[in-house]
Structure 1
Amino acid sequence: MPFTLATWNINSVRLREPLVIDLLKAEAPDVLCLQECKSPVDKIPREGFAALGYEHLVARGQKGYNGVAILSKLPLEEVGAEDFAGLGHARHVAARLPNGVVIHNHYVPAGGDIPDREKNEKFGQKLDYLTDMTKAFEADRPKDAILVGDLNIAPREDDVWSHKQLLKIVSHTPIEVEHLTAAQEAGDWVDVTRKDIPEGPLYSWWSYRSPDWDKADKGRRLDHVWATPDVARAASGSRILRDVRGWEKPSDHAPVFAHFDL
């Protein structure tokens, strides 16, 4: 069953419903995973998505913050959600496709501005979330699975515009990268995007603070597509739709795509 999957931090699905519809019309992925939906599940605007064939939805939501959703043309079987770090946030949801592949959609905490858990509670929550992910993968090693989402960490030197300047900036600090790597290794996850595009700078996020984000190009690769080895072997065609960051009233993230021929 071949299918194309996309992941996108939409930064309010209700505010940016027209952008989601534009993406679905232009690219027609079979599955679209959204993060930072900022909406209770019953307020997610499903009608326009369903009209385009995306009749299936599995989501977790809360008013004004966080929120994750999986939209699909293919039937979905909900398989639950985890509350890593016990935050009580809507940050994870999982669903099974008809071929048995489970998709995990994550929105990892951003971690605030100070990379010190003693001075910044949010940074500690981020590290604890990743630690709980690692423990979960160690306890129940995933298979036939895809993990996507805004993981809020750019792990490689070429995943940020300046490795040296961002070493002390939240999202690229060594301790965050260590925690993310531990989670990846615990699940034997393959970084699908980097499997397909192994060399060169890759970014999926550009700050709203930059008056000319495109020209400055101070980006980071915060959005990821991972897969277990059995699924990663069937992955191809990874791409980041940078142009979407330049749409009117955009999210600060660009969608990341991958194709799976299973």
Structure 2
Amino acid sequence: MPSLRIATWNINSVRLRRPLLAELVKALDPDILCLQETKCPDELFPLDDLRAFGFPHIAHKGMKGYNGVAVLSRRPLQVLDGDPDWCGKGDCRHLAVAVDAPGGPVELHDFYVPAGGDTPDREANPKFAHKLDFVAEATAWSAARGAKARSVLVGDLNIAPLEHDVWSHRQMLGVVSHTPVEVEALTGWQHSAGWHDALRHFVPADQKLYTWWSYRAKDWEAADRGRRLDHVWVSPDLAGALARHVVLKPARGWAQASDHVPCMVELAL
């Protein structure tokens, strides 16, 4: 049966870490790779280098120094217009494409949600307010669109919603990324159009699952104080097509690694 392998990775600078894409392709062999935090304005995006990794079809939306999203694909794609200007900031946090796939196009959304700073207080921390406002807008957008068929949403959503998406639920309740208000917001977004949590489709909710380990840890692997900040959601009609997943934990140990690791799901279409 034909399949479609979709990977997502917060690369934390596409120009700095583009050599690591060779390792990613070797390990995952994705048909589509969605990147976040590319930190690269469009005019400097390394198109030729990335095409050399086997992705002739590339869409990107970037700015200097921070944010930025991109979709690299082995299959033809079309950029979908009508993207909202999230929170009126024009800060390159969402890219939508239609990808040629077995059985018809798949609508793919690549998101990079604001991290939210360190203080989980809307009044005291404008970054946290921005994060909550962004997720609220994304929820309203998703609800208005409804459960569109053959749709996938991926990205660094910067929220670990479940108890076992963090190393210590009790100790993380007051830490940005796992606070109750963020969890409620992300859960509302997921439920707004019936999105199915593709990674948790394979890993039960009572098992630990992380995609991010802080740079601050002297030995990230020994401490293993991770969080699941990266997500793959599929529309309800694709839930039954989920065939396999990979969370590439060894990537956190690569030279000049991102603090996030790539995640991939394979759909049997």
TM tier, smaller: over 0.9
C-alpha contact (below 8 Å) 1:13/1:37 kept by paired residues? yes
C-alpha contact (below 8 Å) 1:21/1:48 kept by paired residues? no
Where do residues 154-193 of structure 1 align in structure 2 (5 Å cutoff)? 154-193=160-199
1:230 positional shift: 0.7
- Is residue 211 from structure 1 mapped to residue 218 from structure 2 by the alignment? yes
Q: Deviations over 1:178-228 (max 9, x none)?
A: 000111111110000001112410000000000100000000000000010
> Which residue number corresponds to residue 104 of structure 1?
109
The separation in 2 between residues aligned to 1:23 and 1:83, in whole angstroms, is 31
> Which residue number corresponds to residue 158 of structure 2?
152
Secondary structure, counterpart of 1:233 in structure 2: helix
Question: Which stretches in structure 1 are left out of the alignment for 5+ residues?
Answer: none
1:23 positional shift: 1.0
> Which residue number corresponds to residue 44 of structure 2?
43
Match 2:130 to one of 125, 132, 149: 125
Where do residues 1-262 of structure 1 align in structure 2 (5 Å cutoff)? 1-80=2-81, 81-98=83-100, 99-143=104-148, 144-198=150-204, 199-262=206-269
TM-score, normalising length: structure 1: 0.97
The separation in 1 between residues aligned to 2:10 and 2:210, in whole angstroms, is 13
The separation in 1 between residues aligned to 2:39 and 2:68, in whole angstroms, is 6
Matched AA of 2:265: A
Secondary structure, counterpart of 2:39 in structure 1: coil
Matched AA of 2:91: H
The separation in 2 between residues aligned to 1:192 and 1:42, in whole angstroms, is 34
Matched AA of 1:47: D
- Say what the alpha-carbon RMSD is for the aligned residues: 1.1
How many residues are treated as equivalent by the alignment?
A: 262
Secondary structure, counterpart of 1:128 in structure 2: helix
Secondary structure, counterpart of 2:16 in structure 1: coil
Secondary structure, counterpart of 1:149 in structure 2: strand
Identity fraction in percent: 51
Secondary structure, counterpart of 2:71 in structure 1: strand
C-alpha contact (below 8 Å) 2:241/2:268 kept by paired residues? yes
The separation in 2 between residues aligned to 1:181 and 1:135, in whole angstroms, is 13
Question: Which stretches in structure 2 are left out of the alignment for 5+ residues?
Answer: none
TM-score, normalising length: structure 2: 0.95
- Give the 4+ runs in structure 1 shifted more than 4 A: none
1:83 positional shift: 2.4
C-alpha contact (below 8 Å) 1:83/1:91 kept by paired residues? no
The separation in 1 between residues aligned to 2:127 and 2:6, in whole angstroms, is 30
Secondary structure, counterpart of 2:233 in structure 1: strand
